[in-house]
Amino acid sequence: MTKTEIQETIINTIIGHNCRGIILSSVRSGKTRILLNSIKKQSKRKDIKVLLLYPNIDIKKSWENECDLIGYHPDITYCTFASIGKVKQFGWDFVIFDEAHLLGEENQLPIAGEIAKSNDYVMFASGTYNSDTLADIMMYTGMDLIVNYSTDEAIKDGIVSDYTIYIHKFKLDTLKKVEYGRVKKWTSTEQKECNRLTNRVMLSTGQQKMFASLERMRFINSCQSLIDAVNKWIAKNEDKRFILFSSDEKTGLRYNLPMFNSKSKDDTILKQFQQGEINQLCLLKKASAGVTFPNLENILVTAINSNGENLEQMIGRSLLKDCDNLSNIHIFVSSETFQLKWLSNSLQNIDKSKIVYL
């Protein structure tokens, strides 16, 4: 089947369920177009009011672009997940939660459930659900999974590119002493500092444990050994076209790459990469979903955590089937037990035959 035929099959399934339910449609399968055409096919009026709820501005832009591409412009009210409480009291002809896997369980999913129960045509859509997220959405909304088209199926159907994940492990430095601390200063090796932070996590409880865990995550995702491992790969692959996902601006600057992040005043650098004017790009909290990158075969993930859905979205940036070769996903991770556990959790829904440990 062609991509258009697969999209039409998914659209007919959605219509068959009266545009009400949970939709899993693979990354790069044209999910936005599927949802827009489902609304167009289901609706009998031209003056319909659509509520689109989304996690970040990239998703809004992708919807606006898709409306222009297919020439269909329903009256869409855009609202972020963070502002969901402001729209729950209104009645809508259609409600769509895009990238629904990012709905916050404690403060957003209960309101999403209220909206689902008070409107007829409601769709929760994503290209990446794990079993826990799917169960939570089902519990709060009372809805069923009506479309289950995974990325693995899309790869088998030949509408998205296949990929290999390469795991680059590095060790923390045990010899060189460097300065740590913002107010109170001390010197230590990377390994000893990591051990200190891990002990704080183990000995803390409640909110203090959360803060200690965040501090350790910031440390491991910005340590010099990570920077060295990534820069070594970059030096050996200067001719490669790639995107690098980093943890924060200060760390991202240490890779000496053009950067696009949530603080960027415009999207000039992003467009330069998309148009092939530059071939390397560092991304910070931007463009991990809802953005297309032509001719992209390499993704570098330098801030791994235990969220497999976010990782799959990052992988999806390189699965556009416009290259001759498979996509290469390079994940840089320390040999520390806690981070290897994050890695294991993030890879739990990925075919193990796609993973290569270097």
Report residue 320 as tokens. 């556009």
Residues contacting residue 180 through CB under 8 Å, at least 6 positions apart? 186, 187, 188, 193
Beta bridge partners of 75: 49
Q: What is the pLDDT of residues 265-320, one digit of tens each?
A: 677 888 898 888 999 999 887 555 556 777 888 999 998 888 888 888 888 887 77
Which of 100-104, 190-194, 310-314, 350-354 is predicted with the least confidence, judged by mean pLDDT?
A: 310-314
How large a percentage of the chain has pLDDT more than 70?
A: 96
CA-based nearest residue to 192, from 204, 210, 179? 179
Helix (H, G, I), strand (E, B) or coil at 329: strand
Helix (H, G, I), strand (E, B) or coil at 292: coil
Structurally, what CATH architecture does the domain formed by 3-157 represent? 3-Layer(aba) Sandwich (3.40)
Q: What is the pLDDT of residues 205-242, one digit of tens each?
A: 988 999 999 999 999 999 999 999 999 999 999 899 99
Comma-separated ranges of CATH 3.40.50.300 domains in the chain: 3-157, 163-173+226-357
Q: What is the pLDDT of residues 20-67, one digit of tens each?
A: 999 999 988 889 999 999 999 998 777 899 999 998 887 888 899 899
CA-based nearest residue to 25, from 14, 17, 16, 15? 14
CATH class of segment(s) 163-173+226-357: alpha beta
Report residue 239 as tokens. 């001719």
Alpha-carbon span 230 to 170, nearest angstrom: 10
- Total count of residues recorded for the chain: 358
